[in-house]
């Protein structure tokens, strides 16, 4: 999957940055399984359209519908600057399957370490 | 009833008709007369008193002042001041009052307020220009006794909303205004949610100032708003500039309304506001209020059947219905309603953080808000969709 365009960017109440992306192909159940390696995926398959959400506590959250080409990504305030490419990389490494998952976990670890360096001491312990 | 066909203005799902329930933010659609008034205004040169020899046939400023004074039963149209929003009005009034007092004093506001009240007051408190008490609400209402309990010898200013933008509660403002008048407290009433929504009789509310916005229930464009000021001597003008009058003077004119209106007005906006007020007068303010009450009651009745829907105001007095669905964040609910059902609501804190600390622990909620131009069919359809989402979130 690739991003075709970004439809909307806005800053949310909590300071997070929300972007709506349009993908070149619909989101698949396989992508949701891939996401499970990096955070919490909630699925509501009985909704009028099968809704899902993904939460990576410190980086971003994602909302969308399976089978849709539109997706909403919310970059958490504390990670902005480090996580700008994270969603793009998720899409890229999804193509590679399990090897991609391992690479992506490595990238996530690297982002966490950088976040710890940037965060004030009291917040460092919050980033696992 | 005049109504433009909303069509698929959101561009979301052409198969499903758009249901717009974010009218407490900005009403949509606008009456047909509002759209044509803006077009007519833009087709002709603006009538600018004292500034131009060429002018249109309509003096939008004077006509809108007269129309508002008539709608609100205000005695003096020239005390009706135009600004760009309720937020602009509240800032002009609060900072203008502080400037006029010219020494620190105590101010009172309430937990129900919008950030357009809370932020100016807290900014002034942080600078040591005022001390501030925030009065709690009970079941959506602020009582006179709660205001009285907060008053101290240094109190000079009270700022409070007429209607809550989150809970849809309507304050019994008259006794509070009478108490403030009797005790020499300047009362600013934020009528952003009530102006055009319910009958307002300013002559019966002895407040220092009544604030309105044009783009909500008055059906005007965003960028319009204002306030009615009873005593111009109580407020310093915090903006200075061209008025087209007394131009040799290097100071702001003292006369009304020029004392508080600097710069070129938003003529297309005022044309829309004038048309919006005329629409309300033609339909009847009582009829507008009654219809919105009925739509709200239908909507609430439909939602109250469902155990998976948390209603924060079981009987709102204004067409504002705050709710959450169990097992979903408010922004998820709003997202699903918008994308899967083409229903537009608003989610989050609604710029009223203290209300949310009380009702939902500060995490926010979904707000559905109706206008006179919504239909019962739309309200039933939206309620049905919300119940469907709630049911499926619980599976």
Residue range A27-41: mean pLDDT, rounded: 94
Helices B60-72 and B267-283: crossing angle in degrees, nearest 10, is 40
Report the share of chain A in percent with pLDDT over 90.
56
SS3 B368: strand
Set of chain B residues whose Cβ sits within 8 Å of the Cβ of A70: 339
Write the DSSP assignment of B301-359 as a string of letters: HHHHT-TTEEES-SS-SSSEEEEEETTS-HHHHHHHHHHHH-EE-EEE-TT-HHHHHHH
Higher pLDDT, A10 or B157: B157
Question: Across the interface, do A72 and B336 touch by the CB < 8 Å criterion?
Answer: no
The pLDDT value recorded for residue B6 is 43
- For chain B, count helices (H), then strands (E): 11, 13
Predicted pLDDT of residue B13 = 52
Instruction: Identify which of B22, B112, B55, B8 has the alpha carbon closest to the alpha carbon of residue B353.
Output: B112
Give the whole-angstrom CA distance, residue A128 versus residue A109: 9
Q: What pLDDT sits at residue B9?
A: 40
* Rg for chain A, CA atoms, rounded: 15
Joined tokens for residue B385? 């969709």
What number of CA atoms fall less than 13 Å from residue A97's CA on the CB side? Answer: 0
**Mean of the per-residue pLDDT values of chain A:** 88
Question: A10 CB near a chain B CB, below 8 Å?
Answer: no
Token look-up 């209020």 returns B289
| pLDDT at res. B10 | 38
Question: Once rounded to an integer, what is the mean pLDDT over residues A34-62?
Answer: 94
pLDDT of the residue at B56: 61
Contact between B296 and B372 under an 8 Å Cβ cutoff? The reply is no
The H or E element spanning position B215 is none
Closest partner CB to A47 (pick from B336, B349, B364): B336
Taking any CB pair shorter than 8 Å as contact, residues of chain B touching chain A are 331-332, 335-336, 339-341, 348-349, 364, 385, 388-389, 392-393, 395
| ipTM of the shown complex | 0.87
Q: A51 in contact with B at a CB cutoff of 8 Å?
A: yes
B105 C-beta neighbours (distance < 10 Å), count: 17
pLDDT above 70 (res A60): yes
Residues A98-120, mean pLDDT to the nearest whole number = 84
Q: How far is CA A24 from CA A34, A71, A74, A88, B156, in A?
A: 18, 11, 20, 13, 61
Q: What gap in Å lies between CA B335 and CA B221, rounded to an integer? A: 26
Q: How far is A71 from chain B (nearest CA, A)?
A: 11
What is the predicted pLDDT for the residue at A38? 93
Q: Residue A98 has what pLDDT?
A: 87
pLDDT of residue A120: 64
- C-alpha B243/C-alpha B81 separation (Å) is 13
Report, as ranges of residue numbers, the positions in chain B whose pLDDT lies below 50: 5-12
Neighbouring residues of A27: CB distance < 8 A, sequence distance ≥ 6: A1, A64, A65, A66, A67, A68, A69, A71
Whether chain B has a CB inside 8 Å of the CB on A22: the answer is no
Give the C-alpha separation, B16 to B355, whole Å. 34
């Amino acid at each position: 999957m690739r991003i075709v365009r970004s439809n909307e960017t806005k800053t949310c109440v909590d300071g997070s940055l929300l972007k709506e992306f349009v993908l070149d192909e619909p989101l698949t159940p396989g992508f949701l399984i891939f996401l499970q390696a990096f955070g919490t995926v909630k699925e509501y398959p009985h909704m009028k359209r099968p809704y899902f959400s993904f939460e990576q506590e410190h980086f971003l959250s994602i909302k969308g519908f399976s089978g849709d080409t539109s997706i909403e990504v919310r970059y958490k305030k504390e990670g902005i600057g480090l996580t700008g490419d994270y969603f793009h990389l998720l899409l890229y490494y999804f193509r590679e399957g399990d090897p991609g998952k391992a690479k992506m976990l490595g990238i996530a670890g690297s982002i966490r370490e950088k976040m710890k360096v940037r965060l004030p001491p009291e917040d460092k312990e919050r980033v696992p | 009833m005049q109504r433009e066909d909303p069509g698929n203005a959101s561009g979301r799902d052409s198969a499903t008709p758009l249901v717009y329930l974010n009218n407490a933010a900005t009403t949509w659609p606008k009456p047909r007369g509002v759209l044509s008034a803006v077009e007519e205004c833009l087709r002709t040169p603006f009538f600018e008193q004292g500034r131009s020899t060429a002018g249109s046939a309509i003096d939008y400023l004077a006509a809108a002042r007269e129309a508002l004074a008539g709608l609100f039963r205000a005695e003096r149209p020239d005390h009706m001041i135009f600004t760009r929003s309720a937020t602009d009005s509240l800032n002009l009034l609060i900072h203008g009052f502080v400037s006029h007092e010219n020494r620190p004093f105590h101010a009172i506001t309430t937990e129900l307020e919008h950030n357009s009240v809370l932020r100016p007051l807290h900014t002034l408190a942080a600078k040591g220009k005022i001390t501030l008490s925030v009065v709690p609400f009970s079941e959506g209402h602020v009582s006179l006794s709660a205001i009285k309990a907060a008053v101290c010898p240094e109190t000079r200013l009270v700022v409070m909303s007429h209607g809550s933008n989150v809970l849809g509660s309507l304050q019994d403002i008259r006794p509070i205004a009478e108490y403030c008048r009797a005790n020499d407290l300047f009362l600013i009433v934020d009528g952003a949610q009530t102006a055009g929504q319910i009958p307002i009789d300013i002559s019966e509310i002895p407040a220092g100032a009544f604030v309105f916005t044009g783009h909500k229930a008055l059906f005007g464009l965003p960028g319009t708003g204002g306030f009615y000021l009873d005593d111009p001597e109580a407020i310093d003008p915090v903006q200075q500039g061209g008025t087209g009058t007394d131009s040799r003077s290097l100071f702001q004119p003292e006369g009304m309304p020029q004392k508080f209106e600097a710069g070129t007005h938003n003529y297309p906006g005022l044309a829309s506001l004038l048309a919006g007020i005329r629409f309300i007068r033609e339909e009847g303010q009582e009829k507008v209020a009654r219809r919105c009450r009925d739509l709200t009651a239908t909507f609430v009745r439909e939602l109250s059947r469902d155990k998976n829907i948390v209603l924060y105001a079981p009987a709102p007095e204004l067409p504002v219905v705050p709710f959450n669905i169990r097992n979903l964040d408010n922004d998820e609910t709003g997202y699903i309603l918008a994308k899967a059902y083409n229903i537009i609501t608003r989610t989050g804190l609604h710029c009223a953080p203290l209300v949310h600390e009380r009702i939902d622990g500060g995490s926010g909620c979904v707000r559905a808000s109706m206008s006179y131009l919504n239909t019962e069919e739309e309200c039933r359809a939206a309620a049905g969709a919300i119940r469907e989402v709630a049911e499926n979130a619980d599976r």
